[in-house]
Structure 1
């Protein structure tokens, strides 16, 4: 009688947890409830000698615990990447060195984009926007996000130096493998877009500004 009551109580608790998991939209609570369900059914299966259920949930318990650990680690990595700057030193072994001379165009607007660059030395300018890029900057990433994979601007070397290049295929692999790099890449692309927008807004404001009266113009 006691065993029958225990079985019914366990089944009721398990049913509640199963229904609760169906209402959840995120993975971490889902894994937590999965672990609780495993623990309850294992606890009930031992005194009732329900060995198939015991074996099933003894296998599922460590699996759910491992997946929960992975999700929590991913959340920590994401928070770390969002709240701190990512050093690009680890990326350099995946990149190819290229020496540039003054006047050389590393790529042209509207041509097919296949790689991005890390500036080691020298001076470089995005021709259309007039933005000069400092040493340590990454450029050429917007072509990867473009639906047509086309360059959005021309990059010109204005003082001889060295860059490192990495192909988009390698970037995609790193993006998937390293959450920190993935979020760094998104922040980089967003910053470039906002920088271009600010530049365009400044030019429009200057263009729309009324001309100075003749008396106010400098001699």
Structure 2
């Protein structure tokens, strides 16, 4: 059997295995295994395209392979960053690659109390205040994330810009897509949101404790 026949048989076998990987890829429900099978499909099709000189297939999957590798790395990095945030500073900086910029002007209201919530914000620069509570948010703070977890999906306070700045926004739909694509991400996101909620409750209890003694003294005077 000459080399041309060997190449044909290798190409046929490779196409068969590639078809199996394609079917497996289409059956994946989450992003990480989908990317893994897509990478395997790319490798098999590249390997089978070389001996039969199928250059269109070779070029196509040579382009798709690094793209799939990058997307897999991005998703794995996302999960690692969320895990790190849960166990350390509760930061949500890992969401920044999925967010879009929004410039804000002083006196601009980003959202109002009781309106429908559909996005969360990461503060890059400027000054912002939650009107009802009077709390000023620092640079690096995330605001609006609890509306996603609320059954009614409404804002509990009004957010006002009090000094020109920049925020990054991400819609709840985008976050939900990441959740569906990778359940591990969703699990750690819920843990992170819960941890931030308890942290906020703790701060509120501290503020109430500081305000209680003067109140009691005024009542007894």
TM-score, length-normalised on structure 2? 0.52
* 2:82–2:189 contact (8 Å) kept in structure 1: no
Q: 1:140 aligns with which of 137, 140, 144?
A: 144
* Unaligned stretches of 5+ residues in structure 2: 1-79
CA 1:87–1:108: 2 relative to 1, 3 Å? closer
The separation in 2 between residues aligned to 1:202 and 1:192, in whole angstroms, is 15
* 2:129–2:160 contact (8 Å) kept in structure 1: yes
* 1:81–1:183 contact (8 Å) kept in structure 2: no
Shift of residue 98 of structure 1?
A: 0.6
Kindly report structure 1 stretches of 4+ aligned residues shifted beyond 6 Å: 76-79
* Unaligned stretches of 5+ residues in structure 1: 1-75, 214-219
Alpha-carbon displacement from aligned partner over 1:151-185 (angstroms, at most 9, x marks no partner): 10111111110001111122233345214433222
* 1:103–1:157 contact (8 Å) kept in structure 2: yes
Q: 1:195 aligns with which of 178, 198, 203?
A: 203
Q: Which residue of 1 aligns with 2:66?
A: none
CA 1:116–1:209: 2 relative to 1, 3 Å? farther
* 1:114–1:144 contact (8 Å) kept in structure 2: yes
1:95-106 to structure 2, matched below 5 A, reads 95-106=99-110
Bigger Rg, structure 1 or 2: 1
Q: Which residue of 1 aligns with 2:97?
A: 93
* 2:130–2:136 contact (8 Å) kept in structure 1: yes
Q: Which residue of 1 aligns with 2:218?
A: 210
Alpha-carbon displacement from aligned partner over 1:79-104 (angstroms, at most 9, x marks no partner): 75543235544311211111111111
Count of residue pairs brought into register by the alignment:
138
The separation in 2 between residues aligned to 1:201 and 1:111, in whole angstroms, is 31
Q: 1:119 aligns with which of 120, 123, 139?
A: 123
The separation in 2 between residues aligned to 1:202 and 1:107, in whole angstroms, is 30
* 1:118–1:138 contact (8 Å) kept in structure 2: yes
More displaced stretch, 187-196 vs 140-149: 187-196
RMSD: 3.0
TM-score, length-normalised on structure 1? 0.53
* 1:128–1:153 contact (8 Å) kept in structure 2: yes
